[in-house]
Structure 1
Amino acid sequence: MLRVEMFHLKLALFDDGRLLWEKSAPNCIRPGPPYPHEDVESAWNFFLDALREAARSHQIGAIVPTAHGAAGALIGESGLAAPVMDYEFTGVEVVEPDYARLRPPFSESLSPKVPAGLNLGRQLAYQKWHCPDLFAKARYFVGYPQYWAWRLAGVAASEVTTLGAHTDLWAPRQGQASSLVKALGVDHLLPPLRRAFDPLGPIKPDIAAATGLAPGTLVVCGIHDSNASLLPYLVSRRAPFTVLSTGTWVILMCVGLSLDQLDPRDDTLANVDALGRPVACGRFMGGREYAVIAGDGNQDLDAIERVIASGAMALPCFSGHGGPYATTKGVIRGEVAASDRTALATLYCALISDLMLTRMGATRGDLIVEGTFGGNRAFCQTLGALRTTQRVFAAEDTAGTARGAAMLAHWPPSYQIAEPAPVNPISITGLDSYRKAWTAAVDMIAR
C-alpha cells in the first residue's frame, strides 16, 4: 500500500490484513511558482527507496495507492502538465465569482462550498483560467491516488471515491460526472472510469529495474483515503452504522443513512464508496483542532470531569477549515488547568462529533472510531456517554486506512476482518448539563 496524506507519506506491506512492514516520511509542500504545490518528486524518490528496501525482504504482489481527496493531477504526454496544488492555497479563491456561476447546486453534487482548494473543481478552474499555458499541455486530469497509479503503471484512470470526495465534479445520486465537468470544458480530460479495486496493469519496466520488484507486480487503481478506512466495515457489518475516520480530519461516514438531512451549511456531504454508492458524511478538522487546544497533560475521565465541573469550554473553530462553524474563530472560555487542556480538547472533539451526528440524523447503529482517536479511550468513552442509543467501538489500529487500501489488492477479501473493541458504556458526571450549556454557547457565537 502506498499512501499520501497532507503531512505524511507511507509505504506499508500487508498479508491477509496483517501489517508486515512500513516506512514513513514527512510530506513536503513547495511554495511555488505558480502556486504552493505538492513536492511530488521528493515523494516519488521516497517511494522508490522504500519499495527497494521492502523488496529485499518481502515478495510484493500488488501496489494500491491511497491519498486525500483534495488533490488532482493534470498529466501531459510524459509527466505533470502543472504542479499538484496544495489544497490550503487560499489564492485559488480569486476565481470564486466566475466559478460560482458554473458550480452545480448542492442537490446535484452533494458537495458543499468549502474554503481554499478543498473543492477540487475550484482548483481545476484556477489552473485553467490562471495557468492557461500549463493547462493547455494537459492530456488527462486524475485524482491524486490515480496519479500515483499512473506513474507506476502508465495507465490513466478515473475513480469514483476520489471524484466523489467533495470535488463538485460528481453527481452521487446519478452516479456520473456532474454538470460542472462540461460547463468548465474539462470533460475531455477525464480518462475512463475504473473501480478502486481494478488492476491497471504491471509496474513499468524501469520501475521494476530500479526497485527490484518483480516485473509482473500489479498496480491497482487506488482509493480516496477515508473510503479506504470504511472498507473493512462495508464487508463485515450490516447497515446502519457509522465510522469516524480520524486523523488530521474527522470524517463521519454514516452507512445506510438517508441523504435528505445533509446540509452544506454544516459541511455535511455525500462521499461515494468503492462500489459507487453515496454515503452520508460530515467532517471537521478534528486532529488539527485537538492539537491547537491540547497541551501536555491528562485525557482520562477524571480530567474530563474536572473540566466539566470547572465550566471551561472550547468553542469552535480552531482550524479555519471544515465543520459547521468553520468561519468562526475558536475561543476557550473559563479557566482550565494546563494539565487538563488535553482533556478539554478531547471533550471538544467528542461534542462536535455528537452535534454533527445529531444534525445528520445518525441516531441508530454502531459507531466505530478508527485512526488516531481510536486510541484515545477518553474520547471513545465520552462519545459513548453522549450517544446513549448507540454502541461505540474503538479500532486502535493506526494503520486502518492503509489496511483498508490493501484489501483492494484481492477484492473481495477472503480472510476474516478483525473486529474493533467494544467501549463499555459509562456515565460522566455533569455531562448532560455541560452539553446543553456548550450547545447554547455555540448557538450564540454562530448567530
Structure 2
Amino acid sequence: MNTTPVIAIFDVGKTNKKLFLFDEHYRIVFEKTLQFTETMDEDGDPCENLEALTEWGRNSLKELMDLKEFEIKALNFSAYGASFVHIDADGKPVAPLYNYLKPFPEELKKKFYEDYGGGITVSMITASPVLGNLNSGMQLYWLKNKHPEIFEKIKYSLHLPQYLSFLITAQPYSDITSIGCHTNLWNFPQNNYHEWVLREGIEEKLAPIFSSANVVDARAFWKDFKVGIGLHDSSAALIPYLACFTEPFILISTGTWCITLNPFNKHPLTESELRQDCLCYMSYKGEPVKASRLFAGNEHEIETKRLAQYFNMPQDNYKKVEYDEKIIVSLAKKNAAAPVIRFAERNLGEYRNYEVAYHQLILDIMWQQLASTKLVIQDNNVNRIFVDGGFSKNSIYMHLLAEAFPTMEVYAASVAQATAVGAALAIHQHWNSKPLPGDIIDLKFYAKPSLV
C-alpha cells in the first residue's frame, strides 16, 4: 500500500485545538478540531483544562499512527503564548495552566518593578510592556512569592508549545519564540535572561534552550520520527512570509488585535514606542521582530453591533458592504473640518444609512492603523505591506490602507492555517525532501485609490 509522507501539527488556540497533517506540498490532507470546556484554578479563575489537553495530546499520536494511508515523518506544535505548564521531576503537572488574563496582585507588581528599576526600565530591556500575567515570567514570580509550596515542586516550567512536545518526547526544552514574547524574561540587548531571572532563582526552573528550527528523535508505537519543540503561534504565523519573501516587508496580522510585525526593523525599542503599545516578538531564528498593537478587531466587533442595532440590520451586515469611493470622498471632506475622534464618540444619527456609517467606522480605524503601523516601519526600505486575517477580506479597509501608504505595495494575503504551516516550515529540512513551494501564500494587490 502506498503511503503519503506527512508532518503532523498540533495547533492549540485558546478556543480551538486543531490537528493537521500536511503533505510535502503543504496541502492539508487531514484535519480535526476539538474544543475543551474551561476549568477553574484554586482562586476560582477560569483556566485551560490541562488534564483534557494532556490526554488529547497523547491519544492523538496513537490515532495518527492508526492512519495507514499516511507515513508520519515528523511532528511539531504551535500554541498561544504567555502560558506555562509547571511539571515536577516525574514530568507531571503540579499546578493549573493559569490563564494569562488572571488578575496580577498590584502590591506584588509594585514590589517587582521597585526592586528592578521601574516599569519603563524593565520594559525597555525585556521588550515587554507592563502586562501582568501576560508577562509570563511574572507568573513564576507570583508562584514563588504567593505559592512557595508549588514553586518548590517545580522541576521545569515549560511554555505551552514546549509542554506539548514534551508529551511526545519526554525531553524538556525552552524555545526562544516563547521566551522572547513579552515575558519579562529576556534581556534583548544582552541576548540572555534578565538579571531578575537569575536573582530570583527562576532560571533553574527553565529548561535548556533548544532551537525551534531543529528536531529531536522520538520513537512511539514502534515507529521513529522527528519532533520539533514547538513555537509561539504569532512567531509561527510569520514563518511562511519569511520563507517566501526576502525583500523587506511588514505583516499586519488582523484579528481581535491588529499586530504590525516588522522583521527588518533592528532599532531597539524606545520609551516612546513602549508607551504606544510597541513590543518585540522573537523569530524562530532568534532575531527580534518589532511589533505594534492595535485593538481594532475588538473595536470593530463592538461598533458593528451598535450599527446593526441602530439601523435594524443583521449583526454581520458589514460583510455585504463594498468599498464605495464616492462615500469615502464625501466623508473625507466632512471630516477635514473636524478633529479626529473614535467612532464610539460619533452620533449615528448623522449618517443617512448603514453603508455610510460603516465606511466612517473603517475610516476611523484606519487613522489609528496608520499611526500604529508607522511606529514600526521607520527607515527599513520596506516597500510591501501584507495583511492577513479578518481585515484582509474587508475591501474598505484594504483600499484605505493602500491610500494611507501610497508609496507601498499593499496586498491582502491568505495562508491556509498560517500558524500550523509555519510550524511545519520551521523544520522543513528535517522531514521534507522537496523544495519549498512557491504557492503557499495567495496575494491580492490593492492599488492606491484615485480619490479626487
Same fold (TM > 0.5): yes
* Residue of structure 2 in register with 1:148 after alignment: 164
Q: In structure 2, how many angstroms separate the alpha carbons of the residues matched to 1:80 and 1:285?
A: 34
From 14, 17, 29, give the equivalent of 1:6: 14
The alpha carbon displacement at 1:339 in A equals: 6.0
Q: Distance in 1 between matches of 2:394 and 2:36?
A: 25
After superposition, the C-alpha distances for 1:109-153 in whole angstroms (9 at most, x for unaligned) are 121112x42111222211221222111110012211111111221
Q: 1:20 aligns with which of 4, 29, 36?
A: 29
Which residue number corresponds to residue 401 of structure 2? 383
Q: Residues of 1 paired with 2:255 and 2:36: CA distance? A: 15
- Give distance in 2, aligned partners of 1:396 and 1:285: 21
Distance 2:326 2:176 in 1: 41
Q: Does 1:70 align with 2:69?
A: no
Q: Which moved more, 1:117-126 or 1:253-262?
A: 253-262
- 8 A contact 1:25–1:46 mirrored in 2: no
- TM-superposed CA distance for 1:408, in Å, is 2.2
Question: Match of 1:269?
Answer: 279
Aligned equivalents of 1:366 and 1:239: distance in 2?
Answer: 9
Are the counterparts in 2 of residues 142 and 190 from structure 1 also a CA contact under 8 Å? yes
1:84 aligns with 2:129: no
For the 8 Å contact 1:73–1:144, the answer to whether it is kept is: yes
Contact 1:244 1:368 in 2 (8 A): yes
Query: Which residue of 2 is the match for residue 109 of structure 1?
Result: 126
Partner of 2:309: none
Change in Cα spacing, 1:361 to 1:394, as seen in structure 2 (3 Å) is closer
Map 1:30-429 to 2 at 5 A.
Answer: 30-34=39-43, 35-48=45-58, 50-55=60-65, 56=67, 57-77=69-89, 78-103=91-116, 105-114=122-131, 116-202=132-218, 205=220, 208=221, 215-260=223-268, 262=270, 263-294=273-304, 295-298=315-318, 299-302=321-324, 305=327, 308=331, 331-335=344-348, 337-338=353-354, 343=359, 346-362=362-378, 364-411=382-429, 414-418=435-439, 419-427=441-449
Judge conservation of contact 1:6–1:27 (CA < 8 Å) in 2: no
SS in 2 for 1:117: helix
> What SS does the aligned partner of 1:182 have?
helix
> What is the rounded CA distance, in whole Å, between the counterparts of 1:349 and 1:29 in structure 2?
33
Report the Cα distance in structure 1 between the residues aligned to 2:423 and 2:360, rounded to whole angstroms: 33
Instruction: Name the SS of the counterpart of 1:195 in structure 2.
Output: coil
Letter in 2 for 1:23: K
1:378/1:90 CA distance change after superposition, 3 Å: same
Deviates most, 182-191 or 33-42: 33-42
Other structure's SS at 1:301 match: coil
Separation in 2, partners of 1:429, 1:64:
47
In structure 2, stretches of 5+ residues that fail to align are 1-8, 305-314
What is residue 307 of structure 2 aligned with on the other side? none
- CA drift of 1:398 comes to 4.3
Query: Could you tell me which amino acid in structure 2 is paired with residue 198 of structure 1?
Result: N
Q: Deviations over 1:389-445 (max 9, x none)?
A: 211122223411111111123248722232441422132759xxxxxxxxxxxxxxx
Identity %: 24
Structure 1 counterpart of 2:420, one-letter code? A
TM-score (norm 2): 0.81
Larger Rg: 2
Cα separation, partners in 2 of 1:48 and 1:138, compared to 1, 3 Å: closer
3-state DSSP class of the match of 1:156? coil
Contact 1:95/1:122, CA 8 A, preserved across alignment: no
